[in-house]
Chains A and B, each alone.
Chain A
Amino acid sequence: MTGLPAAIGAPAVSGPVPMPRGRRRTELLMLAFALLVVILADAFAGLGLNGKVPPTLLEYGLGFAAIMIVAHLAVRRFAPWADPLMLPVAALLNGLGIVMIYRLQESGRGGNPGNVISTLTTSATLIQLMWTAVGVVGFVLVLAIIREPRILQRYTYTFGAIGLVLLAIPALLPASLSSVQGAKVWIRVGGFSIQPGEFAKLALAVFFAGYLVAKRDVLALAGRRLLGIDLPRGRDLGPVLIAWGASLLILVFETDIGTSAVFFGLFLAMLYVATQRTSWLLIGFLLFLGGAYIASTIFGHVAARFTDWLHPFAGNNAANSAYQLVQGLEGMGFGGIFGTGLGHGQPYFTPLVQSDFIITAFGEELGLTGLMALLLLFGLLVQRGLRAAIAVKDPFAKLLAGGLAFVLALQVFVIVGGVTRLIPLTGITTPFLSQGGSSLVASWGLVAMLMRISDTARRPAPQPIQDEGMTQVVRAG
């Protein structure tokens, strides 16, 4: 930790004690750099498409910069000690996502090369920019309202209920109001659709953290010892089984193996951090594999995902269920090491490239180098989150930060691993990059909570002010 204040009882110092630095200037500098990268990328996308700088560059660029400056000012105001890297990284990822959506939206339109992506309207970029604004408003609200992470702990079961309701709504709604492309994870009203699961993720993380902090001593109690592993007591298996059952229900009713894996993974990771028992991990992991196997034998769509993963090139035509996966892989291969350059590739061959497969569009146009940079940005964000978790003292905040950082990593792993054929493909969004409001707003909410926790962790402890009369006045933090 930087600028650790002098411990209480340290020798008296004369003059004002130097205050630890919040590093907000560093944040601003890096944010400016991120904005520069985004604006240049947008210009290059236009130049790559038709040799002209996009006519919307100025308004979109200024708009995006303004939104991010607001976020920065809010951090200065509400979380001055927060980690200085998180906001610039989130802004850079968000901005690059908008640039790619702009590039995809312009494909084949206005005399640009390529095919028109019919699932992407001409206002997609503007809408994504507006969702960015909504996301940052959410970010500011989280920072403004939740001044201390432990406030959330009071509402553990409220968040649990909210999370479950959000998760269950799409399953209960008729398919016409909840199903898009076979995944029943939406709430669609009018032309408006949100994925409640994205927000449920945050609510359940709070619930898990609160619940596990309260119960961890019980859960950590060892029962029998088998093969060198301390097994938990049978009666303590309850919560694990409930979480497992819930994730299987998501799988069954929402036909969404990705969301199910992310939730169960989040729960397991937090359970492990709370109890430090490897046995929980093993039991949970085996339960998930068993559940997935049974699901694959019962449900055709789960089995089909496995077949597509193992034999994607079995029949390469539009009717092939692995068509999207194959197009994405071929796009990445076409991009090679250095990529075609923004606007020069053909990402429009991949159906729905703007959502789950957006990472393959980056792979094609920015190449292996660009894609590695993007993954490292995600990795950096995760690492900063885990760092906050380790640094913060409050067990609840510690658990919450660990869970949120892990769920971000897991989501990136599941979707990027899925589209690059590392694991079977499951349709979930790529945080910050994919088109769509819910994912973006939820991602900003996640970053806001991580920043709130890192602010708590880095905030200097109440500092003794010593005067000659030996009276100690504690300055409120």
Chain B
Amino acid sequence: MNRALLRLSLACLAMFVLLLININYVQAFEATSLAGKPGNSRTFYQQFQYQRGSIVANGDGTNLKIAESRLVKGGNGTYQRVYPDGPVYAPVTGYDSIFSATGMEAAEDKVLSGTAPQLQVHNLISLITGKQKQGATVALTISPRAQQAAYQALAQDGGHSGAVVAIDPSTGAILAMASYPTFNPNNYVTLNGTQLQKVDSRYRADPAQPLLNRAIEATYPPGSTFKIVTSSAAFATHTVAGPNTPVPAPTNLPIGNGHVLINDANEVCANGNPPFIQAFWLSCNTAFGKLGIKLTGAVLHQYANAFGVNNPNLKIPLPVAASVVPLETDPAFTAFTAIGQFDDQVTPLQEAMFSAAIADGGTLMTPHLVQSVQAPDLSTIESATPTPLSHPDSPTVASKVAQMMVQVTQNPAGTAFGTANASIVGVVIAGKTGTAQNGINNTNLDDAVFTCFAPATNPRIAVGVIVKGGGFGSAAAAPIAVKVIQAYLKVK
């Protein structure tokens, strides 16, 4: 029987070898894919076992924590996310919940959670020295002063929805990004899945769309603020020599197909042939409509693109919805495009970018939110380098447009004189109002739009404001921009 017993031994050996091979496969080769399986409890709970990096707003140099992980009391060393000023910074931070993340929490997840490749050496050292793993801190360009002012101004604007974006024109650093109505990310930090589902479905069902970050995810008609682009094109192509060159501005402008373009409230535009700068501060639609037809749709499209429109790939690093100005060939549509109506749709960020490009002498800096990333040992592993995104204008053209934008707020007849002149603000603002008609047959309330930069000489901040259904840009949007500028520049 010994021969059979030897064979039986071989069978036993084979069984153990199979088991050994199999556990090697499971624990060494399959481990990574197992860790990535949806619903893996161990991977899931791992995220609460260490301190996720903070998000700080450092636009004022104050390193204000706007998202941080704190130890849960009596929670066995688990951490929970806290957003100290939740709703104010919600469009920036987003939330980090047990199931998903949005905003910067999602965009910078790898560094915040400490899994980014740049942090691997650091993690290895922590492992060896027995220190706890920790995420990196992300410092943002957001200025708490500007952000607070933007949020407060939107919230106090009679319940209209809207958004504000402020940019440092010389670097592209985003100083404020507010959206209203918004949500409180602290409601998302619960470790209770059922509770989380409830919170999330309530926010999603809310018709006010609190989760929508209007600053970069929603688009609105730019209205007359698009005249900045039309003017840039006019100067650059020498179609209009300078701000004082007279331009035709009829009361009624037939644009084909039986359409007639009129000025706001059917007004007359000065004497019907005003200097270009006056047509700009009065915001005459007929003058710019006629100019648009003369420039052609292709040229308008080209300059709009140079200002950052029609770019679906912009990331700050949050993905930005593409602002749209289509290529028009029909004269009627071209005229509408030139005054920012019809198919034109831009984000509030794009509004700020219009002014930022003019403020920076015609160079549009890439808008960005991340100033630097610091490893837990405080070494900087990443820091922002301002880079130009495009050069929509030459410095000469930019200064001509800037000169016109100053008159919008400083000329007593300018559309924003009443709400944004120097004696009100305490500093000279260069801006452009927009009042965009919308809805079927323009039945809805107008969207109020304002884009500006300040101070007019040596600009430090460019602001874009859109208030949905706010009415006139000068009345509803400009005061919000003024408050943000005052807070950031510390005037008044």
Interface presence of A346 (CB below 8 A)? yes
The 8 closest A-B pairs by CB, nearest first: A333-B34, A368-B27, A333-B31, A413-B15, A316-B39, A409-B12, A422-B22, A273-B4
A376-389 contact mask (Cβ, 8 Å, vs B): 1 or 0: 10110011001001
Q: Report 25 cross-chain contacts, Cβ distance below 8 Å, ordered by A residue.
A: A111-B76, A269-B8, A273-B4, A273-B8, A276-B3, A276-B4, A313-B37, A316-B37, A316-B39, A317-B39, A330-B37, A333-B35, A335-B27, A363-B26, A372-B24, A375-B19, A378-B16, A379-B12, A379-B16, A390-B5, A395-B1, A399-B1, A402-B8, A417-B19, A417-B22
Residues in chain A near residue B73, CB distance under 8 A: none
10 extra interface residue pairs, beta carbon distance < 8 Å, beyond A329-B30, A332-B31, A413-B18: A276-B4, A330-B42, A333-B31, A371-B27, A383-B12, A389-B5, A390-B6, A398-B5, A412-B19, A422-B22
Interface presence of A327 (CB below 8 A)? yes
Instruction: Check if A336 sits within 8 Å of B15, measured CB to CB.
Output: no
Residues in chain B near residue A272, CB distance under 8 A: 4, 7-8
A420 to B19, CA, bound (A): 8
Partner of B26, one of A378, A406, A421: A421
Instruction: Check if A113 sits within 8 Å of B76, measured CB to CB.
Output: yes
Interface presence of A292 (CB below 8 A)? no
Residues in chain B near residue A383, CB distance under 8 A: 9, 12
Closest residue of chain B to A312 (Cβ to Cβ) is: B37
Select the residue from B5, B15, B20, B45 with max chain A CB neighbours within 10 A.
B5
Interface presence of A85 (CB below 8 A)? no
Task: Say whether, besides A272-B8, A375-B16, A422-B22, A332 and B42 are in contact (CB < 8 Å).
Answer: no
Interface presence of B23 (CB below 8 A)? yes
Residues in chain B near residue A405, CB distance under 8 A: 12
Interface presence of A68 (CB below 8 A)? no
Instruction: Check if B30 sits within 8 Å of A333, measured CB to CB.
Output: yes
Residues in chain A near residue B9, CB distance under 8 A: 383, 386
A113 to B4, CA, bound (A): 51
A111 to B76, CA, bound (A): 8
Residues in chain B near residue A219, CB distance under 8 A: none
Residues in chain B near residue A346, CB distance under 8 A: 41-42, 45
Partner of A420, one of B23, B31, B37: B23
Residues of A within 8 A of B (CB): 111, 113, 269, 272-274, 276, 313, 316-317, 326-327, 329-337, 345-346, 349, 363, 367-368, 371-372, 375-376, 378-379, 382-383, 386, 389-390, 395, 398-399, 402, 405-406, 409-410, 412-413, 416-417, 420-422
Residues in chain B near residue A269, CB distance under 8 A: 8, 11
A332 to B16, CA, bound (A): 18
A389 to B27, CA, bound (A): 35
A327 to B44, CA, bound (A): 13
Residues in chain A near residue B5, CB distance under 8 A: 273, 386, 389-390, 398, 402
A316 to B2, CA, bound (A): 49
- B183-225, CB < 8 A from A: none
Q: How far is the CB of A4 from chain B (nearest CB, A)?
A: 17
Residues in chain A near residue B76, CB distance under 8 A: 111, 113
Q: How far is the CB of A93 from chain B (nearest CB, A)?
A: 15
Instruction: Check if B16 sits within 8 Å of A337, measured CB to CB.
Output: no
Q: How far is the CB of B5 from chain A (nearest CB, A)?
A: 5
A274 to B1, CA, bound (A): 6
Instruction: Check if A420 sits within 8 Å of B41, measured CB to CB.
Output: no
Closest residue of chain A to B77 (Cβ to Cβ) is: A113
A409 to B14, CA, bound (A): 10
Instruction: Check if A326 sits within 8 Å of B27, measured CB to CB.
Output: no
Residues of B within 8 A of A (CB): 1-9, 11-13, 15-16, 18-20, 22-24, 26-28, 30-32, 34-35, 37-43, 45, 76-77
The secondary-structure label for the interface of chain A is: helix
Partner of B1, one of A273, A331, A363: A273
Task: Say whether, besides A333-B31, A346-B42, A395-B1, A417 and B12 are in contact (CB < 8 Å).
Answer: no
Task: Say whether, besides A113-B76, A334-B31, A420 and B8 are in contact (CB < 8 Å).
Answer: no
Residues in chain B near residue A333, CB distance under 8 A: 26-27, 30-32, 34-35
Select the residue from B23, B27, B32, B45 with max chain A CB neighbours within 10 A.
B27
Instruction: Check if A332 sits within 8 Å of B27, measured CB to CB.
Output: yes
Task: Say whether, besides A269-B8, A272-B8, A406-B8, A331 and B16 are in contact (CB < 8 Å).
Answer: no
Instruction: Check if A368 sits within 8 Å of B28, measured CB to CB.
Output: yes
Instruction: Check if A349 sits within 8 Å of B42, measured CB to CB.
Output: yes
Residues in chain B near residue A334, CB distance under 8 A: 31, 34-35, 42-43
A375 to B31, CA, bound (A): 20
A276 to B2, CA, bound (A): 9
Residues in chain A near residue B3, CB distance under 8 A: 276
Partner of A316, one of B1, B13, B19, B38: B38
A355 to B40, CA, bound (A): 22
Instruction: Check if A336 sits within 8 Å of B23, measured CB to CB.
Output: no
Instruction: Check if A375 sits within 8 Å of B23, measured CB to CB.
Output: yes
Instruction: Check if A406 sits within 8 Å of B12, measured CB to CB.
Output: yes
Task: Say whether, besides A276-B4, A409-B15, A336 and B39 are in contact (CB < 8 Å).
Answer: no
Instruction: Check if B28 sits within 8 Å of A390, measured CB to CB.
Output: no
Residues in chain A near residue B20, CB distance under 8 A: 372, 375
Residues in chain B near residue A410, CB distance under 8 A: 15
Residues in chain A near residue B19, CB distance under 8 A: 375, 412-413, 416-417, 420, 422
Residues in chain A near residue B32, CB distance under 8 A: 333
A331 to B40, CA, bound (A): 9
Task: Say whether, besides A346-B45, A372-B20, A329 and B26 are in contact (CB < 8 Å).
Answer: yes
Instruction: Check if B1 sits within 8 Å of A422, measured CB to CB.
Output: no
Instruction: Check if A336 sits within 8 Å of B28, measured CB to CB.
Output: yes
Residues in chain A near residue B28, CB distance under 8 A: 336-337, 368
A436 to B257, CA, bound (A): 90
Instruction: Check if A390 sits within 8 Å of B15, measured CB to CB.
Output: no
Instruction: Check if B41 sits within 8 Å of A349, measured CB to CB.
Output: yes
Residues in chain B near residue A326, CB distance under 8 A: 37
Instruction: Check if A336 sits within 8 Å of B38, measured CB to CB.
Output: no
A33 to B285, CA, bound (A): 94
A269 to B6, CA, bound (A): 12
Instruction: Check if B39 sits within 8 Å of A363, measured CB to CB.
Output: no
A349 to B39, CA, bound (A): 12
Closest residue of chain A to B38 (Cβ to Cβ) is: A316
Instruction: Check if B23 sits within 8 Å of A368, measured CB to CB.
Output: yes
Instruction: Check if B16 sits within 8 Å of A409, measured CB to CB.
Output: yes
Residues in chain B near residue A378, CB distance under 8 A: 16
A410 to B5, CA, bound (A): 15
A386 to B9, CA, bound (A): 7
Closest residue of chain B to A213 (Cβ to Cβ) is: B1
Instruction: Check if B12 sits within 8 Å of A382, measured CB to CB.
Output: yes
Closest residue of chain A to B35 (Cβ to Cβ) is: A333
Closest residue of chain B to A402 (Cβ to Cβ) is: B5
Residues in chain A near residue B13, CB distance under 8 A: 379
A405 to B6, CA, bound (A): 12
A276 to B1, CA, bound (A): 7
Closest residue of chain A to B30 (Cβ to Cβ) is: A333
Instruction: Check if A420 sits within 8 Å of B2, measured CB to CB.
Output: no
Select the residue from A334, A337, A346 with max chain B CB neighbours within 10 A.
A334
Q: How far is the CB of A298 from chain B (nearest CB, A)?
A: 28
Residues in chain A near residue B24, CB distance under 8 A: 368, 372
Instruction: Check if A331 sits within 8 Å of B8, measured CB to CB.
Output: no
A329 to B32, CA, bound (A): 12
Residues in chain A near residue B40, CB distance under 8 A: 316, 330
Select the residue from B31, B43, B45 with max chain A CB neighbours within 10 A.
B31
